[in-house]
Amino acid sequence: MGSRWMATLAGVALIMAVSLPASGADRESGKKVYAQKCQNCHGLDGKGSATAEKMLKTKIPDLTATQPSKFSKAERQRYEQRVRTVLAEGKKPMPPFGKSLSKEDQENVLEYMEKAFMNGGK
């Protein structure tokens, strides 16, 4: 009876571990960081700010145009790595945030952006 109980607990733990985000990202913290660091250019809705585009004389990417849920696992991993790289290293005119934001904050922003804007905000 004890081994069955342990096997059941192990199964439940495995299901819980698989269902949680691998990064342990905190969407609410990501939302706060996004509001402080990203929203002025990328907009409240993730579609980009026309004012910022005029000021910076560049097209700001529409974050809602990306559909990671339609990517293969490998495509999604490459996409997320590109976003992490741009977030950390910047991409003119966007400044790098690798030194001003912790890795945890960067992951939280990524999680927030994916859930709030990408895949129709789902």
pLDDT band at 58 (very low <50, low <70, confident <90, very high): very high
Better-predicted residue by pLDDT, 57 or 122: 57
Residues 69-105 have pLDDT tens digits of 889 999 989 999 999 999 999 999 999 999 999 999 9
Residue 120's pLDDT is 65
CB atoms near residue 114 (< 10 Å): 24
pLDDT band at 119 (very low <50, low <70, confident <90, very high): confident
98: DSSP letter: T
DSSP 11-31: HHHHHHHHHS-TT---HHHHH
Residue 24's pLDDT is 61
CB atoms near residue 68 (< 10 Å): 13
Residue 108's pLDDT is 95
